[in-house]
Amino acid sequence: MPPVRNQLLSITSMGKTTGFKEFNRKAEPYRDPALRLIDFKEIFTPHDEAALQTQAARCMDCGVPFCQSDDGCPVYNLIPEWNDLVYRGRWREALDRLHKTNNFPEFTGRVCPAPCEDACVLRITDLPVTIKNLECAIIDKGFDEGWVLPDLPSHRTDKKIAIVGSGPCGLAAAAQLNSAGHAVTVYERADRIGGLLMYGIPNMKLDKSIVERRVQLMRDAGIKFVLNSDVGRNLAVEQLVQEHDALLLATGAEVARDLPAPGQDADGIHLAMEFLTLHTKSLLDSDLHDGQYISAKDKDVVVIGGGDTGTDCISTALRHGCRSLVNFELLPRFPAEPGPDNPWPLWQKIHRVEYGHAEAAQMFGDDPRVFSMMTQEFVKDANNQLTGIITLDVDARLKEIPGSEKHWQADLVLLSLGFLHPAHYIGDALGIEQDDRGNFKATKENYRTNVPKVYAAADCRRGQDLVVRAINEGREAAREIDRDLMGVAQLP
């Protein structure tokens, strides 16, 4: 889908003509690590509208806005346009521009790693515009002012659509299809709506009241949600196909990559998503009083694997009160600046200090990461309880370095090694073809599987990826379903 260009906006230039020369980048700070470590509230500080208008003034009239291109924003947000509107104090119009391409900017404004900023033209010679801060501030102001309302369709069709999975893809598709007038029902196997947004991302990055607020708006717009419904197990997927005009699979890539090594059956080794899910459920159910979670309190914790999920594990374990914490990463440490093989506007492969790393440094005095590290063996006692890990250093080609064995004390290991593919029991029941990686086979052109009326989108189709790409695929899949049902697409 090509970027949406300058619809309905009649202005002569973007931002302040010389703003990028006059003002330096100033991103909104997180709360102080020492203070935020004692609670599970969001890490963000309140928005400063005056400062944000100054930051919006840095947006250049760059001619070709790479920030909203394929190398920038996966949902093709009209970034220069809402930057200009913020600079001019036209916040309500900025919100309208933002909602044209993104159903859930309150999610992406918090959890997206912002590839748009790495693709900002200003980054060629300077630091990029604070796009992510501006996006979050626009939608937060929209909610504060009461501007965000249920998106009620102007008419209703006779088409019924089922969506399996209520993560960002499923929710985006539901919002789009409902806006076209179709009857949409979303099936979720958990006890709360949101998928990854609810249970995969900790409260510190995305407060769950923000997810529930958006879900309620969707309910008010006419979308139905069915909880505790494990399609393919306690609800026959064949029944959904028979009773609906279309079925969209948005189940995510939930099968996690394991770490086969001697001793891997030891008690105390857990997948990252198990740790994060149980923590958030207990936090929401009882403020952790029920004890129904994997506690890191007074434990020597090792997180194996980096990325956002690894950082989330670090941050959660710190708040539990772990005794020590270290994070193993197989790859070498990235450089401080991108190399010649990593040019603009590509995502910068550089060393980044995320919120959990800063918190670990606050608590223990240093960044918790150890790079170029391979796990050789898990050590356990006679009762099968994990007691430690033996590692080997690896070189730049990931080859083991002889004689580099180290022993690390550990009684809780969290595996954050990514995800392989979706669970197959739904696809197997319908006979859905898989690609060579085990994903449901469907092209980005139409999102159709080999089974009539059945579509697949986002992580279950392409493999694990960003929340913003899941939103993009949910929107695009909705458009193609709408086209197939109505003969012509009513959706962007």
- What pLDDT does residue 16 have? 85
Q: Which structure tokens are listed for 278?
A: 């149980």
Return the pLDDT at 61.
83
Q: In whole angstroms, what is the distance from residue 346 CA to residue 407 CA?
A: 38
- pLDDT for 2 equals 41
Burial 434-443 (b: 16+ CB within 10 A, else e): eeeebbbbbe
Identify the pLDDT of residue 15.
67
- Greatest CA span in the chain, whole angstroms? 74
What is the structure's pLDDT at 14? 62
Q: How far apart are CA 208 and CA 431, in angstroms?
A: 36
Strands 369-370 and 160-164: what pairing? unpaired
Q: Which residues contact 450 (CB under 8 A, 6 or more apart)?
A: 431, 432, 433, 441
pLDDT score, position 4: 42
Q: Which two tokens stand for residue 193?
A: 């709506």
* Close Cβ partners of 216 (under 8 Å, ≥ 6 residues apart): none
Q: State pLDDT tens for residues 130-160.
A: 999 999 999 999 999 999 999 999 999 999 9
* Confidence at residue 12, expressed as pLDDT on a 0 to 100 scale: 44
pLDDT of residue 10: 42
| For the chain, percent of residues with pLDDT exceeding 70 | 97
CA distances from 313 to 17, 303, 417 (A): 43, 7, 12
3-class SS letters over the chain:
CCCCCCCCCCCCCCCCCCHHHHCCCCCCCECCHHHHCCCCCCCECCCCHHHHHHHHCCCCCCCCCHHHCCCCCCCCCCHHHHHHHHHCCCHHHHHHHHHHHCCCHHHHHHHCCCHHHHCCHHHHCCCCCCHHHHHHHHHHHHHHCCCCCCCCCCCCCCCEEEEECCCHHHHHHHHHHHHCCCEEEEECCCCCCCCHHHHHCCCCCCCHHHHHHHHHHHHHCCCEEECCCCECCCECHHHHHHHCCEEEECCCCCEECCCCCCCCCCECEEEHHHHHHHHHHHHHHHCCCCCCCCCCCCCEEEEECCHHHHHHHHHHHHHHCCCEEEEECCCCCCCCCCCCCCCCCCCCCCCCCCHHHHHHHHHHCCCCEECCEEEEEEEECCCCEEEEEEEEEECCCCCECCCCCEEEECCEEEECCCEEECCCHHHHHHCCCECCCCCECCCCCCCECCCCCEEECCHHHHCCCCHHHHHHHHHHHHHHHHHHHHCCCCCC
- pLDDT, tens digit, 9 for 90 and up, residues 365-397: 999 999 999 999 999 999 999 999 999 999 999
Domains of the chain (ranges, CATH numbers): 19-144 (1.10.1060.10), 160-254+420-486 (3.50.50.60), 269-417 (3.50.50.60)
Rg of the chain over Cα atoms, rounded to whole angstroms, equals 23
The token pair that represents 56 in the structure block = 């919006």
pLDDT digits (tens, 9 = 90+) for 105-130: 999 999 999 999 999 999 999 999 99
pLDDT at 63: 86
The crossing angle, in degrees rounded to 10, of helices 49-56 and 79-87 is: 130
Digitized pLDDT (tens) for each residue of the chain, 492 residues in all: 344 444 444 444 566 889 999 999 999 999 999 999 999 999 999 999 999 999 999 999 888 999 999 899 999 999 999 999 999 999 999 999 999 999 999 999 999 999 999 999 999 999 999 999 999 999 999 999 999 999 999 999 999 999 999 999 999 999 999 999 999 999 999 999 999 999 999 999 999 999 999 999 999 999 999 999 999 999 999 999 999 999 999 999 999 999 999 999 999 999 999 999 999 999 999 999 999 999 999 999 999 998 999 999 999 999 999 999 999 999 999 999 999 999 999 999 999 999 999 999 999 999 999 999 999 999 999 999 999 999 999 999 999 999 999 999 999 999 999 999 999 999 999 999 999 999 999 999 999 999 999 999 999 999 999 999 999 999 999 999 999 999 998 899
